[in-house]
Every structure is written in C-alpha cells, then in structure tokens.
Amino acid sequence: MKEKLIDFLEYTYHFNKEMIETISENISKTDEKTVSLINHTLNAQQIWNSRILGEASFDVWQINPFEALQEINQQNFNKSIEIVEKFDLNKRIEYRNSRGTKFENEIFDILFQIINHSTYHRGQINSLLKQCGIEPVLTDYIFYKR
C-alpha cells in the first residue's frame, strides 16, 4: 500500500510541477484566480503535511512568490514521502482545521486527501487556462503512467 501511495504522490508532484510551468510560461495571459488556485493547491498539501508532522503551516489562501512555487511543490513532496516512510498510515491524528474545529483522521486518509484535492484543483485550473486561450495540461493519471 505504501508503494502505491508513493506513486500517487509522485503523480501529484509531477502534474503540480507541470501546471506551475504552464502557468509560468503564460503568466501574462493567466488571471488572478489561476494563480490563487495553484497557490491554494500547494498550500493545502503543506498544511496537511504540517498537521501530521506538528509543524507551522501556511494560510489556506496565502499567495506565495510565484518563483517559490516549484520549491514549495518539491518540499511538499519530500515531506509527504517522509510521512509515508516514517509513520504508521493507520495511525489517527488529531488536528484543527482553518476554522479551529477539532477533527481526527487516519494518516492514510489525509495523504489521499492531498492527492484528491490537488487533482480537483488542477481540473479547475485547466478550465481557467482554456478560458484564457492556453492549452490545458493533460493531467489524467493514465497519461502519467504511459
């Protein structure tokens, strides 16, 4: 199970990277919502990782310097892999969401949330890119595996 989870995290990292590159190459044609969503996608992974590791986290909708996004993506990936390798994925952790409400979930479910959440927002970003006349990034998992 850990190997497949790592594969999914590699997929997430790969297409986040591709999306950042596409936005960067077309930054003059993209809108604020596109930049906001790619930041949110990366911020969310950083936040979930931080909840598991007990570290300080980003704000959900903070806008990071665009030139830092690839590094944030790399750091997120490294931390997620560290979690897979060092933690019992069935362990339940307690955390508070951005509104301060307390929840508890298994680490596996949190990591799957990272993957699913990223996929969802990359789809939204692709729609925005297309509206701006930019070729969307083919981000389907099966394309990654080919």
Residue 110's nearest CA partner among 127, 93, 130, 126 is 93
The token pair that represents 32 in the structure block = 């604020």
Strand pairing of 102-106 and 92-96? antiparallel
First to last CA, the chain: 21
Query: Is 117 assigned to a binding site?
Result: yes
Cα→Cα distances 37→5, 70, 125, 129, Å = 24, 15, 7, 12
Residue 73, classified by CB atoms within 10 Å of its CB into exposed (0-12), middle (13-18) or buried (19+), is buried
Annotated binding site: 40, 117, 121
Residues marked as binding for a divalent metal cation?
40, 117, 121
